[in-house]
Structure 1
C-alpha cells in the first residue's frame, strides 16, 4: 500500500494565534501515524509562486490515513484554531 503525504506551504500571520494550532495538531497527526520529513528550514522556489515562510512535508502510512487525518475531528479543531493566523496550502498525495 503506497504511503500518503501532506505537502504544506505555510506563512504565519499571527504567531500568538498560530500557537493554538501547534498545541492541537499533534493529537491528530500522532493518531494517524504522521512523520515529519521537512518542517521549516531553507527553501527556494525555482518555479511558480512566492516562497512561503515554511514548507512542511508529512509522511503517513497510507494515502487513506493522510486523508483521514485531515478530515478527523481532532485535526478540524486544530484547523479552526489556525483560522486567520496563517495562510496555508495543503496538498495530499499518494506516494509510489
Structure 2
C-alpha cells in the first residue's frame, strides 16, 4: 500500500490474476476514521442507555455514522471481556476528535463514567 498525494487516499496494490495476460487493477480508496468504544464494565445499564440516546444526536451532528452499537460479542481470543462495543465511522480523525473535544461530550462523559468503564480509541483505515 502506498500513500496518494491526497493524505486521505491510499492506493491498494494491483489485483493479481491467474493469467498474466489479464490487466491488473489498482484502487484508490478514501481513508475513514473509526471511533471505537469497548466497555469492559457496565454498572448502570439504565444510565448508559440514557447516555447513548443523548450521545446519538451529538455523534450525528459531528458527522458520525454508527456501524456497531451493542449486540452479542463473541470473543475469539485474547484476555478481553467486553460487555458492550460501539464503532462509529467518521470522514476523518479530525471529525472524531472534534466530537471528543466538544462541550456536549465533556458533559455526557461525566454521566457515562458513572455507568461504565472501558476504552476509547480512534483508528484510521479503509
TM-score tier after normalising by the smaller chain length: 0.7 to 0.9
Q: Which runs of 5+ in 2 are unaligned?
A: 1-7, 9-30
- C-alpha RMSD of matched pairs (Å): 1.6
- Corresponding residue of 2:28: none
How far apart in 2 are the matches of 1:23 and 1:36? Answer: 12
- Higher helix fraction (1 or 2): 1
Instruction: Say which of 77, 85, 101 aligns to 1:47.
Output: 77
Matched residue, 2:3: none
- The reply to whether residue 9 of structure 1 matches residue 41 of structure 2 is no
Find the aligned partners of 2:111 and 2:65 in 1 and give their Cα distance.
Answer: 22
Matches within 5 A, 1:73-84: 73-84=103-114
Give the unaligned 5+ runs of structure 1: none
User: Which one has the largest radius of gyration?
Assistant: 2
Distance (whole Å) between structure 2 residues aligned to residue 73 and residue 55 of structure 1 = 23
Instruction: Give the structure-2-normalised TM-score.
Output: 0.67
Secondary structure (helix, strand or coil) at the match of 2:72 reads coil
State the structure with bigger RCO (CA 8 A, min sep 6), 1 or 2: 1
CA contact (8 A) 1:45 1:51 kept: yes
Alignment of 1:1-96 (within 5 A): 1=8, 2-10=31-39, 11-96=41-126
CA displacement, residues 10-46 of structure 1 (integer Å, 9 cap, x when unaligned): 2321123323412331232011111111112222222
Aligned residues: 96
* Shift of residue 77, structure 1, vs aligned partner: 1.2
Q: Report the Cα distance in structure 1 between the residues aligned to 2:77 and 2:109, rounded to whole angstroms.
A: 28
